[in-house]
């Protein structure tokens, strides 16, 4: 099966799609649709930034 946006899938780890979508201010289905095709560099940067923020919050709270 084809896996697009491999870097994002690896970076997100166990973070659910809905959490990332919520941080980005989009519906989970929108984010899932973005994952179906290779994202532009600008969108990838935005998503990776959101993932980094979420991971930072998780580490601060000790939820991981």
- Over residues 12-55, the pLDDT tens digits come to 999 999 999 999 999 999 999 999 999 999 999 999 999 999 99
Tokens coding 51? 């993932």
Q: Is residue 52 part of a domain?
A: yes
Domains identified in the chain, total number: 1
* 21 falls within a domain: yes
How far is C-alpha 9 from the geometric centre of its chain's CA atoms? 7
**Residue length, the chain?**
64
In a domain, 1, yes or no: no
The mean per-residue pLDDT over the stretch 1-6 comes to 82
**Which residue range forms the structural domain that includes residue 31?**
15-61
Q: Which two tokens stand for residue 35?
A: 């994952």
CB contact set of 9 (below 8 Å; sequence gap of 6+): 3, 35
Task: Tell me the pLDDT band of 1, cut-offs 50, 70 and 90.
Answer: low
Q: What is the pTM of this model?
A: 0.87
Token pair recorded at residue 54? 């979420």
CA–CA separation, 17 and 22 (whole Å): 9
């Amino acid at each position: 099966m084809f896996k697009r946006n491999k870097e994002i899938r690896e970076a997100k780890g166990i973070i659910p799609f809905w959490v990332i979508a919520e941080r980005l201010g989009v519906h989970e289905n929108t984010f899932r649709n973005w994952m179906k095709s290779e994202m532009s560099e600008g969108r990838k940067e935005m998503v990776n930034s959101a993932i980094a923020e979420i991971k930072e919050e998780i580490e601060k709270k000790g939820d991981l």
